């Protein structure tokens, strides 16, 4: 069998970090040829030009798609999606991939799936079957599942949900979450190395903060952030902030975080893109994670770290037992509980339900083994 061309489309720093261990395994086997298309946030200076990180890791980017409009509105996201669809059709035509490999539930991921489906290219999708009721990601993820031919999910419950959607059970694989592989494989930075790299110090108690706008909510983002910042100040935490994604309202979040960090540069630090190594290292050394990002739900349990999940963005996602769900007006109370001796002891007993760190090899084995076909049949549950 000739080499199969596996085309990976990535649009964000976080998604690339989860794909990284899979890309490394694809490159290490002789039966697959890796292709990479970088889109959206990777090509944006505002978000750190993170395509440079991909190239710095030694990967060749086969195409760069500049599809992100600068406006911070719902119409601009819809237009960015349409532009990605147009440009990706040219990329796929030139690269002629055998499989398009996608992860997650972002708008450019949906554009890549739509384009591949209409061009009769088989799609392999990672992290399908999950539920996040508080964001538009929910509908995007499930629609990508229905366009995909191979499914790599992170828990048995997610596998059952994909089968419930009419997908062929023989094409659905519970591989665990690939993000766990990085925790196992990376040699994380020491605390002093990370502090030197960031020019910032953790302090007596510290938090890692990542907060994305809730795209199905009309709540006042500015009001929410002011309440959050007030709670962080009241608890005297040193806080390491990361940028929100390029979603509706994301620019507002990032602008307000930048302003807040200027109030005390010793206690507060914002970094546009930490990259996976620094992000996981920060997760290891901070006392608590705060925000509403999926990494708190999926990866943090492997470090036995308490996570304060704000609001409904991750509502419905399976939890390992280290999560404190709270509303914004109870954030101060939740921080106190997360840092309490009793909860810290409880979190040390938690086992991560999302896997043990061998996801990438299992995914790549199926990319090699599975027959290629775009023909799908709806399978009824008996």
Which of 18-32, 69-83, 118-132, 139-153 has the weakest average pLDDT? 69-83
Asked if the model's pLDDT at residue 84 lies above 50, the reply is yes
Residues 269 and 297 in one domain: yes
Same domain, 170 and 246: no
The count of domains in the chain is 2
Identify which has the larger pLDDT, 249 or 298.
Answer: 298
d(CA 309, CA 330): 11
What secondary structure does DSSP assign to 128-149, as a single string? TT---TTSTHHHHHHHHHHH-S
pLDDT cut 90: percent of the chain above it: 85
The whole-number average pLDDT for the span 258-267 is 96
**Residue numbers of the domain that contains 220:** 188-347
* Statement: the pTM of the whole predicted model exceeds 0.75: yes
Mark whether 153 and 29 lie in a shared domain.
yes
CATH of the domain at 73: 3.40.50.2000
The 10s digit of each residue's pLDDT in 172-187 is 999 999 999 999 999 9
Strands annotated E in 29-133:
32-39, 63-65, 99-103, 123-126
Q: Is the pLDDT of residue 218 over 60?
A: no
165 lies in the same domain as 287: no
- 311 in Cβ contact with 328 (< 8 Å): yes
Question: What was the pLDDT predicted at 249?
Answer: 79
């Amino acid at each position: 069998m000739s080499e199969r061309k596996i085309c990976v489309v990535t649009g964000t720093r976080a998604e690339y970090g989860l794909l990284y261990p899979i890309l490394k395994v694809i490159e290490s086997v002789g039966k697959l040829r890796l292709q990479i298309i970088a889109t959206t946030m990777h090509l944006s200076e505002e978000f750190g030009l993170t395509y440079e990180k991909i190239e710095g890791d030694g990967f060749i980017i086969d195409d760069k798609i500049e599809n992100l409009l600068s406006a911070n509105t719902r119409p601009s996201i819809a237009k960015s999606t349409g532009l990605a669809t147009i440009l990706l059709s040219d990329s796929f035509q030139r690269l002629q991939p055998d499989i398009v490999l996608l992860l997650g539930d972002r708008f450019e991921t949906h554009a890549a799936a739509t384009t591949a489906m209409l061009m009769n290219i088989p799609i392999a999708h990672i992290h399908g079957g999950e539920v996040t009721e508080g964001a538009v990601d929910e509908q995007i993820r499930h629609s990508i599942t229905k366009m995909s031919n191979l499914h790599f999910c992170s828990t048995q419950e997610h596998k059952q949900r994909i089968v419930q959607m009419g997908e062929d059970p023989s094409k659905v694989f519970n591989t665990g979450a690939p993000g766990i592989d990085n925790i196992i494989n990376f040699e994380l930075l020491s605390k002093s190395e990370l502090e030197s790299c960031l020019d910032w110090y953790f302090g007596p108690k510290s938090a890692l903060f990542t907060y994305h706008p809730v795209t199905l909510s009309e709540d006042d983002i500015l009001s929410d952030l002011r309440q959050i910042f007030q709670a962080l100040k009241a608890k005297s935490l040193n806080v390491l902030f990361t940028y929100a994604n390029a979603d509706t309202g994301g620019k507002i979040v990032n602008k307000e975080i930048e302003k807040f960090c200027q109030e005390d540069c010793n206690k507060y630090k914002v970094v546009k893109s930490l990259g996976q190594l620094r992000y996981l290292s920060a997760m290891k050394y901070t006392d608590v994670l705060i925000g509403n990002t999926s990494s708190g739900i999926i990866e943090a349990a492997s470090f036995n770290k308490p996570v304060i999940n704000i609001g409904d963005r991750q509502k419905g996602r399976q939890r390992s037992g280290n999560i404190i769900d709270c509303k914004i007006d109870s954030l101060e109370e939740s921080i106190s509980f997360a840092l309490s001796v009793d909860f810290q002891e409880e979190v040390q007993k938690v086992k991560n339900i999302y896997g043990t760190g061998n996801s990438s090899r299992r995914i790549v084995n199926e990319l090699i083994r599975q027959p290629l076909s775009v023909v799908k049949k709806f399978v009824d549950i008996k």
